[in-house]
Amino acid sequence: MTATTPLPEADDTEAADGSETGTTSRRRAAFHTLEVSEVRRLTAAAIEVTFAVPEDLMGEYDYLPGQYVALRKDLPDEEGNVSEVRRSYSICAEPKPGEIKVAIKRDLGGLFSSWANESLRAGDTMEVMSPSGAFISKHKMTALNDPASIDTTISHNFVAVAAGSGITPVMAIARTVLAANEHVHFDLIYANRAAMDVMFLEELADLKDRYPSRFALHHVLSREQRISPLLSGRLDAEKLTSLLGSVIRTNQIDEWFLCGPFELVQLVRDHLSEQEVSPEKVRYELFTTGRPNRPEGQIGRAVEADDSGENYDIEFRLDGLQGQVKSPLSARETILNAALRVRPDVPFACAGGVCGTCRAKLVTGTVEMEENYALEPEEIEAGYILTCQSHPTSDAVSVNYDA
């Protein structure tokens, strides 16, 4: 992708879709030290972590259902070398002042997730980023910070398709919209290997008991036989077509929420596209891209500008301050990597083009963006880029993280 300039400044009072929000989905991220108030075991390989938010920081941790936070911790690797590790986790509960809840599932070989599942305890402290993310409903009814504006007279039909830990943001969204409007109907297709792997099993059952006529839960287990063949085995294209043809009426859905690995999310998106569902109705978030390369290659690279050679001139605005850095043409360095060499507080989390934390607005110059799983089409049209995936293609580039 190539973006061009110049572009107008962004209006901070509007969301990406142009609608006003009580809590912006794209505010600048900042880390604060929070205390762990509770660690609850969800499954053998997953925990729910509750962070206590002090009163003076409540405004910083106000959020909309579906958003995420990044956690930052210094941890030793297999060789004992200590370095900073950042991981993003979706908030799994509806907004409640004074706390943030996330679910952390152990990944095979995952440094942070393994440490958290084995060692994290109540009373520990951790650096927690203020909430961010655009995996939120575009319907006004979820703006809990402006309850007077919620329209509770209109019927809405929502569907979520999640797999594994992809349930975490969906839990927050489902709990919120069902409680906010008695005319909401919510279908959830939730894929796991076995019943023992299902996160929030009791909470999902509670939602079903609380809203028996408005919440439909479809567990699909790939390694366990269920009564219905439709809910047994891998959630493939054939099974998805049946579920979204006979069980769920695709043309009657107001909004879709897809969260999980790249393969599943893309499968559902392709199906909805074939059914001519408007992209405006589909919200999605990836937990993995399926790409074999490591996102760490986009950050922390030791690059030195050559004053006698050819360099890109990169300028960026962050927290009202201008920063400048030179990047060698031969290095093919991302804007994020270059900016971090002179400002270690430049925001980022996944560095894989998934979370959108490193989002900035291109002010001058042109870039090539390798991957994008986080920005909406209207954001790209407005000139926003993911700096972890963007390489300069003009002699000089200027971006604004504050926009």
> Same domain for 255 and 175?
yes
pLDDT, residue 1, reads 37
In a domain, 49, yes or no: yes
The confidence score (pLDDT) of residue 394 equals: 97
Residue 23 pLDDT: 43
Q: Quote the pLDDT of residue 27.
A: 58
pLDDT given at position 8: 30
Q: Which residues, in sequence order, are CB contacts of 229 under 8 Å at separation 6+?
A: none
CB 210 within 8 A of CB 182: no
Residue in this structure with the two tokens 């569907």, named with its chain if needed: 159
Task: Kindly state the helix (H) or strand (E) to which residue 337 belongs, with its residue range.
Answer: helix 335-340
Going by C-beta distance under 8 Å and a sequence separation of 6 or more, which residues neighbour residue 332? Answer: 391
Q: How far apart are CA 138 and CA 286, in angstroms?
A: 18
Q: Does residue 361 sit in the same domain as residue 272?
A: no
E-only strand ranges, 291-377: 311-318, 321-328, 359-364, 367-369
How many residues are there in the chain? 403
Enclosing H/E stretch for 372: none
Question: Are 211 and 98 contained in the same domain?
Answer: no
Give the whole-angstrom CA distance, residue 365 versus residue 312: 10
Domain-embedded: residue 381:
yes
CATH number for the domain that contains residue 60: 2.40.30.10
d(CA 50, CA 242): 38
Q: Are residues 267 and 332 in the same domain?
A: no
Strand pairing category for 68-76 and 125-129: antiparallel
Low-confidence ranges of the chain (pLDDT < 50): 1-25, 141-145, 147-148, 292-297
Q: Which pLDDT score is estimated for 17? A: 34
Q: What is the pLDDT of residue 26?
A: 53
For the segment 267-320, what is each residue's pLDDT rounded down to a tens digit? 999 999 999 999 999 999 987 655 544 444 466 677 877 777 799 999 999 999
Q: Is residue 5 part of a domain?
A: no
213 and 325 inside one domain:
no
**Domain containing residue 391:** 309-398
Domain closes at, from 80, 108, 127: 127
Number of domains in the chain: 3
- The Cβ of residue 4 has, within 10 Å, a number of other Cβ atoms equal to 12
- Does residue 378 lie in a domain region? yes
Give the C-alpha separation, 31 to 49, whole Å.
Answer: 17
Q: Is residue 376 part of a domain?
A: yes
pLDDT score of 19: 35
CA 341 to chain centre: 25
Q: How far, in Å, CA of 26 to CA of 44, rounded?
A: 34
Q: How many whole angstroms separate alpha carbon 170 and alpha carbon 216?
A: 14
Instruction: Indicate if 171 and 73 belong to the same structural domain.
Output: no
CB 358 within 8 A of CB 336: yes
Alpha carbon 171 to chain centroid distance? 14
Residue 23 lies in a domain: no
Query: What's the first-to-final CA gap in the chain, in angstroms?
Result: 20
**Three-state secondary structure of 189-201:** EEEECCHHHCCCH
Strands 68-76 and 2-3: unpaired
CATH at residue 391: 3.10.20.30
One domain, residues 276 and 339: no
Within a domain: 182? yes
Residue 66: predicted pLDDT: 94
Query: What pLDDT shows up at residue 288?
Result: 63
Answer whether 3's CB lies under 8 Å from 385's CB.
yes
Q: Are residues 215 and 94 in the same domain?
A: no
Residue 228 sits in the same domain as residue 313: no
Partnered with residue 31 across adjacent β-strands are 129
Q: What is the pLDDT of residue 282?
A: 95
Determine contact, residues 370/353, Cβ cutoff 8 Å: yes
Q: How many CB atoms lie within 10 A of CB 230?
A: 15
Judgement on whether residues 188 and 259 belong to the same structural domain of the protein: yes
Given 127, 145, 167, the domain boundary residue is 127
Amino acid at 371: E
- Whether 317 and 234 map to the same domain: the answer is no
- Enumerate the β-bridge partners of residue 162: 190, 259
Looking up residue 227, the CATH number of its domain turns out to be: 3.40.50.80
Q: Is residue 318 situated within a structural domain?
A: yes
Q: Is the domain of 263 the same as that of 360?
A: no
Supply 52's token pair: 């206590």
Instruction: Read off the DSSP letter of residue 132.
Output: B
Task: Give the burial string for 89-114 (b: 16+ CB within 10 Å, else e).
Answer: bbbbbbbeeebbbbbbbbbeeebbbb
| CA gap 126, 400 in Å, rounded | 28
Cα 2 from Cα 381, distance rounded (Å): 11
